[in-house]
A and B are shown apart, each in its own frame.
Chain A
Amino acid sequence: MLLSQKYINRWLDKRIPPATEFQLDHNTIFIFAAKFGGLFLLLCLLLFLLGTNYQNNLMLLLCYFLLALLLTHLLASYRNFSRLTIRLGKLSEVFAGDDVALPVWINPESAPAVHGIVNINFMGQDVQHWLDCDNYNNPVNIELHCPRRGYQAIPRVTFSSYYPLGLFKCWTHLAFAQQILVYPTPRPCPLVLTSKASEQGEQSQSGQQISLANNDEFSHLKAYSAGEPLRHVAWKQLAKGRGMLSKIFSQEQQHSGWLVLPPGPASQLETQLGQLCFQVIEFSRQSAHFGLQLGDIVIPPSSGESHRLNCLHALAIYQSEPSAMVDRQ
C-alpha cells in the first residue's frame, strides 16, 4: 500500500510538477466515471433489455440517447474543468501547532467561465471545502495544520468537479511550489535582552529585564480572516452578533540588546526557541533594537519588519529536519 502510494506520488511529481499557478489542461486533469455514471450505465443496459424485449424502438432510442449524453458529458465536463485557473496566494505567518489558511485564488483574472460545484480537499483526505463557481469569493481559504516548526511542504490539493450531470468526475492533484515556513510556537516568558552576545553567560543577570507579561495594550479591532489565531478573536463581540473580529494589540516601548539561545539539553531546545520566538515578536512590536544569536548563527541588532522576519526564519529552521519539499528541490 505504502509502496504503491510512493510510486503514485513519484508519478504525480513527474506529471504535475509543483508550481505556483495552474491552468488546468490535459496533463493535469484526470477524468473517470463517477458512481452515478455507473448507475447510469446500468440504467442504459436495463432500458436496452426492456426495449429489446418489448421491441420498442423509442425505448431503445432513449437508451442510445442516454449513452450519447454520457459521451458529450465526458467532453463537457472536461472542458468546464479545464477552464479552472488556480493560484496559491501569499501565506500568512503561522506558528507550530496552529492551522495556516492557504489562500487559493480561483480564476482570479477572468470572468467565471467555470460552472458548478468544485470540491477541494487534501489528496487522500475527505472533502472539506467546496465552492460554487457561479457564486464565490476569492480567495478560498483551506486550513492546513502545521504541527512542527521549519519548512513544511504543502500536501497535494485535490480539486474535483462533477458538473454538469454528475456522470463523470474530473479531478486534479495539484502541488504548490510554495512552502510554509512554520515558526516555533511562541511561549510566554519574561522579556530579557542581554547587552552583548559574547558575554551572554555572565551578563544574563545584569542585563535589562523587562517583564512584559500581560502588558499588551489593546489597540483596535479588525475583521477576522481565516488562519488568524483564535485567541485573538473578540468573542464578546461575536456574542453580540457583530461577527468575527480580531483584537489587535500594540506596544510603544523602546528596548535594545541581544536575544541569545542559552546552551541546554536538546529536549529543552523547542521550549527555548518558543520563548525566543515570543520575545522576538514582542520586542518587534515594541520596535525594540535587538540582535539574535543561535549557536553559530548571529543576526546583528536591528529593528523593523524585515529584521523580525529574519529572526523568525532563523528560529524556524534552526536545527530543524529538512522537509520533503526541500529534498525535492
Chain B
Amino acid sequence: MTMLKHLFTLLKFRARKLSVKDRQQQASNPAFVLNALVLLAFTLSLLDSILGWVSLLVLCSTAIRAAIYFAYQKHLPSQRTMSLLALLSAIGLAYSAIPLGLLVAMVNLLVMACALKLMQLRSQRDFYQFIVSLLFLLGCGFIFNQSIAYSLFYALLIFAVVLSLAWFHAPARARKPQVRYVALMCLQAAPIAILLFLVLPQLPPLWQTPKAKSAQTGLTEKVTPGDIASLSQSSKLAFRATFNGTAPAIAERYWRAIVMEDFDGRSWQVNTQRKQQIQLQQQGMLRFSPQLTGPFAEYDVIAEPTQQRWLFGLDIAVPDSRQSQNEIWQSPTFQLVKRQPVSSAFQYTLRSYTQAMANQPLDALSKAINTDTPRQGNPRTRQWVSELRRQYPHNPDFIRALMQNFAQQPFIYTLRPRPMPVDPVDAFLFDQQAGFCSHYASALAYSLRLGGIPARLVTGYQGGELLAKPDQAPYLSVYQYDAHAWVEAYDAQAGWQRLDPTAMVAPDRITQGLRQAMEQEGSFLADSPFALARLSDIAIFNQLRLWMTDMDYNWSRWVIGFDKQKQLELFKALVGELNPWRLALLGGVIVLIIGLILLFSYLPQWLAGRRHPLQHCYQQALSVFAQAGFVRPAWGGPLEFEAAVQRHFSADISQCFNAFNRLYLAYVYRPHTTRANRQLRRTVRDMRRHLKHLKKLLSPAMREAQGVNRQE
C-alpha cells in the first residue's frame, strides 16, 4: 500500500516536472509561428544570396510550425528524422556553398541551422538559442541590404522577434496589450540606442572580413564593345556626391573610375603592369602623387557597395580628409583605389583639381603602354589612319580630324547596336556606324594609337542628377545608367586631354543625360518598364522619385555614412573644443539623459502603482486635517470621522468633506460593475476637486481669518 502511494507521488512528481518543462511549448503559443514567419520573410529578402534548397527548407519549417499552430498536426518530426535531415543538409551545404564565398556560405549555414532548429524546438534552451541565432541573422541582413525600405523591414522583423520572446514568457496574455507593451519597451530603448550610436566610438575594422564574392556590380575591368548587343541598364544608384559650394556643370562631370590601357583588337582591359603598380602601392613600396595646381572643388562621395576597389572622382581627385587618405590612394593613372573592396556604402572626401590634367608628365612606361597596338586585325582602320596621318602630320590637327570624322559621317548613337564579332573597329567605323559610348571611345583610342599618339580608354560615369535646395549643400545622384566611356590622349603641348567622341555624335548624352538622348529610340531602361526614372514625365511620379532620392540621400549620408569624422564634428558642435574634461562632462550628461529617459518612462507608473489613486486622495484629505491638528483615530471608520469633522469644524468645511467622503464611500462599497475603471476615474476627479477646496478652507490663512471672525 505504502509502496503504491510512493509510486503514485513519484509519478505525480514526474508529471509535474514534465509540465514545467513543456509549459511554454503549448501549440497555441504564437511565438513559434511568429518566428517561423520572420525567418521566412528574411529568406525572401535575401533570395538571391540564399540557396534554393535552403529556402525550401525554411518554407518546410514554416509549414510545420503553422500546421502545429493551427492544430492540423500535433507532433514535431521525430529526433531521428531531424538528425538525418541535418546530416543531409550539412553535406549539401558543404557541396554547394563553397563557390559562394565565406560570407554567403555562412549566412546560408545560419539560415539552414535556424530552419532545422525551428522544426524541433523542444526545450526552453532550444528556443533561446534559436532566438539568438535569428537575431544574429537579421543583423547579417544589414550587410546585404542597407536602404531605408530594407532597414524598416528588418526593424519590423526584429520587433517581431522581441514580441515572440514576450509571448514565450506570457503565453496567455491578450494579443493587443502584449503588442502595445513590447512596442512601448522598444520605443523606450530606441532613443537610448540612438544616443549610444552617436556617442560610442566608431572603431576602424579590427580584422579583415570575408566579403561577398559573387555580387560584383557596376563597372567591369574589361570592355569588349563588339560583344554587347544591347547595353543592359539599371536605375540603381552608383554613388552620390555632395559639393562644398557649387557643383560643376553637367558637361564637366566626368567621373573617372577605371583606366584601360591594354587593347588586343577586340577588348580593352586594365594593364597588368598597372595592376602590379597598385599592388606595390598597397605594400607601401611605391608612391605616386600628381602635380596639383589650379582651381579645385571639394566634395564628399558616398559610394554604393560594388565589391570592387575602384572609386569615383572628377579629374584629378586626391583624398582630402585624413581618414580618406588612409583608405584610398591614387594610382599612376589617376584612378582612386581603395584598400579593400567596397562592401558596404563607403564615404570619402575628395578634392579635385579640375585643370591639373594638362600638366601631368608622360613617363616612359605610360608612353610605351599607351602607344602599343596589336599587329593584326582591323586592316581598314589601319589603312585609313595612316592615310589621315599623312594628311595631318601635326598632332592637334590629326586629333581634330579624327573627332570631326564622327560628326561628318552618319554615325548613330544607339543602345542596341548589332554585334560585331570580326574586326570590331572596322565593322563599327565603316559598316555599321552605330553604337554606344564604348564603341566610339574604343575606335577613337585605337585610331589615335595607330597615329602614334598615346591614348587610353577611361570608363566611369558621366552626368548625374543634381538636387540643389536652398537649405542644404547641392548633391548629385549618379545612377548605373550614367555609366560612360571616353578617351584620354597625350599631346606634348596640351598634356593629357579628355576626348569624348560620343559628344560629337550625341551631344544630348553629355549635356542632358541618357534619358533625353534616348527619347526617340525608347531604349532607356527598356528592361525595367516600371522604374520610376522612366516615368519622370509624369509630374507626381517625378516628385515622388525626387522625394525618395532625397530621403535616401539623407539616410546614406547621416545614418549609413556616419563615421568617426562626423562623430567628432558632432562632439565639436556640442562642446566646442575637445579636451578630456569636456568629453567626460559629455559622457556624464549622456548617462544622465539615459537615466532621465528611463525615469520619465517609468515614474508615472511607479507612482500610480504605489498606492491606489482613490486611497491616495483620501489619505491626502486626512493629512490636510492632520495639519490642522485634527488626526483621525486609527480605530475610527470614515463615517465616524465625518461625524467628528461635523462636530469640530464650520459648516462649509464639513459640507465639503461630507461630499468628499460620500464619493469615497460610494466607490469603495459600489456594486461590482464592468466599468469600474471609468467610474474610478470620475470619482477621483470629483474627489480631487473637493480636496482642493478643502485645502483652501483649511489653510492657515483662512483659519486665521475665520478665527478672527469668530472672536469678533
Partners in one complex: yes
Q: Which of A24-62 contact B (CB under 8 A)?
A: 35-36, 39-40, 42-43, 46-47, 49-62
In the complex, which residues of chain B have a beta carbon less than 8 angstroms from the beta carbon of A56?
Answer: 142-143, 146, 344
Stretch at the interface among B39-47, B183-191, B689-697, B704-712: B183-191
Write the chain A residue with the least CB distance to B602.
A75
Q: Which of B139, B170, B602 contacts A116 (CB 8 A)?
A: B170
In the complex, which residues of chain A have a beta carbon less than 8 angstroms from the beta carbon of B562?
Answer: 57
Alpha-carbon gap, A72 to B598, bound state (A): 7
Instruction: Please report the total number of B residues contacting A with Cβ < 8 Å.
Output: 67
Residues A66 and B135 in contact in the complex (CB < 8 Å), given A79-B606, A116-B173, A117-B169: yes
Contact B165 A64 (CB under 8 A): no
Write the chain B residue with the least CB distance to A136.
B172
Contact B185 A73 (CB under 8 A): yes
Contact B169 A164 (CB under 8 A): yes
Q: Which of A120-165 contact B (CB under 8 A)?
A: 126-130, 132-135, 162-165
A292 at the interface (CB under 8 A from B): no
A115 at the interface (CB under 8 A from B): yes
A63 at the interface (CB under 8 A from B): yes
In the complex, which residues of chain A have a beta carbon less than 8 angstroms from the beta carbon of B207?
Answer: 53
Contact A62 B173 (CB under 8 A): no
Q: Which of B13, B174, B560, B602 contacts A58 (CB 8 A)?
A: B560
Contact A54 B143 (CB under 8 A): yes
* CB proximity of B523 to chain A, nearest CB, Å: 36
In the complex, which residues of chain B have a beta carbon less than 8 angstroms from the beta carbon of A49?
Answer: 206
In the complex, which residues of chain A have a beta carbon less than 8 angstroms from the beta carbon of B205?
Answer: 52-55
Alpha-carbon gap, A59 to B135, bound state (A): 11
Contact A166 B560 (CB under 8 A): no
Stretch at the interface among B192-200, B264-272, B382-390, B505-513: B192-200
In the complex, which residues of chain B have a beta carbon less than 8 angstroms from the beta carbon of A164?
Answer: 165-166, 169-170, 181-182, 185
Interface SS of chain B: helix
Contact B196 A68 (CB under 8 A): yes
Q: Which of A35, A50, A127 contacts B139 (CB 8 A)?
A: A50
Contact B132 A39 (CB under 8 A): yes
In the complex, which residues of chain A have a beta carbon less than 8 angstroms from the beta carbon of B140?
Answer: 50, 59
Write the chain B residue with the least CB distance to A127.
B20
Q: Which of A39, A61, A69, A134 contacts B170 (CB 8 A)?
A: A134
Q: Which of B185, B188, B196, B563 contacts A67 (CB 8 A)?
A: B196
Write the chain A residue with the least CB distance to B170.
A116
Contact A62 B169 (CB under 8 A): no
Q: Which of A202-249 contact B (CB under 8 A)?
A: 230
Contact B169 A55 (CB under 8 A): no
Residues A163 and B186 in contact in the complex (CB < 8 Å), given A57-B559, A68-B193, A69-B162: no
Contact A165 B166 (CB under 8 A): yes
Residue-by-residue, is B316-348 near A (CB-CB < 8 Å gives 1, otherwise 0)? Answer: 000000000000000000000000000110100
* CB proximity of A109 to chain B, nearest CB, Å: 10
Q: Which of A69, A79, A119, A128 contacts B605 (CB 8 A)?
A: A79
* CB proximity of A141 to chain B, nearest CB, Å: 12
Alpha-carbon gap, A42 to B139, bound state (A): 14
A7 at the interface (CB under 8 A from B): no
Alpha-carbon gap, A89 to B403, bound state (A): 102
Contact A43 B23 (CB under 8 A): no
Instruction: Please report the total number of A residues contacting B with Cβ < 8 Å.
Output: 57
In the complex, which residues of chain A have a beta carbon less than 8 angstroms from the beta carbon of B190?
Answer: 65, 68
Write the chain A residue with the least CB distance to B24.
A117
Contact B171 A132 (CB under 8 A): yes
In the complex, which residues of chain B have a beta carbon less than 8 angstroms from the beta carbon of A256?
Answer: none
A82 at the interface (CB under 8 A from B): yes
In the complex, which residues of chain B have a beta carbon less than 8 angstroms from the beta carbon of A63?
Answer: 139
A83 at the interface (CB under 8 A from B): yes
B367 at the interface (CB under 8 A from A): no
In the complex, which residues of chain B have a beta carbon less than 8 angstroms from the beta carbon of A19?
Answer: none
In the complex, which residues of chain A have a beta carbon less than 8 angstroms from the beta carbon of B528?
Answer: none
Alpha-carbon gap, A263 to B689, bound state (A): 75
A71 at the interface (CB under 8 A from B): yes
A76 at the interface (CB under 8 A from B): yes
Q: Which of B20, B136, B344 contacts A43 (CB 8 A)?
A: B136
B60 at the interface (CB under 8 A from A): no
In the complex, which residues of chain A have a beta carbon less than 8 angstroms from the beta carbon of B154?
Answer: 58
Most chain B beta carbons < 10 A, residue from A55, A76, A128, A163:
A55
Contact B602 A79 (CB under 8 A): yes
Contact A166 B20 (CB under 8 A): no
Q: Which of A43, A52, A61, A113 contacts B206 (CB 8 A)?
A: A52
Contact A115 B170 (CB under 8 A): yes
B128 at the interface (CB under 8 A from A): yes
Alpha-carbon gap, A20 to B562, bound state (A): 57
B209 at the interface (CB under 8 A from A): yes
* CB proximity of B672 to chain A, nearest CB, Å: 12
In the complex, which residues of chain B have a beta carbon less than 8 angstroms from the beta carbon of A46?
Answer: 136
In the complex, which residues of chain B have a beta carbon less than 8 angstroms from the beta carbon of A116?
Answer: 169-170, 173
In the complex, which residues of chain B have a beta carbon less than 8 angstroms from the beta carbon of A53?
Answer: 205-209
Residue-by-residue, is B150-184 near A (CB-CB < 8 Å gives 1, otherwise 0)? Answer: 01001000100010011011111110000001100
15 contacts between A and B (CB under 8 A): A51-B139, A54-B343, A57-B197, A61-B197, A62-B135, A65-B158, A65-B193, A68-B190, A82-B609, A117-B171, A127-B20, A128-B13, A128-B20, A163-B166, A164-B181
Residues of A within 8 A of B (CB): 35-36, 39-40, 42-43, 46-47, 49-69, 71-73, 75-76, 79, 82-83, 113, 115-117, 119, 126-130, 132-135, 162-166, 230
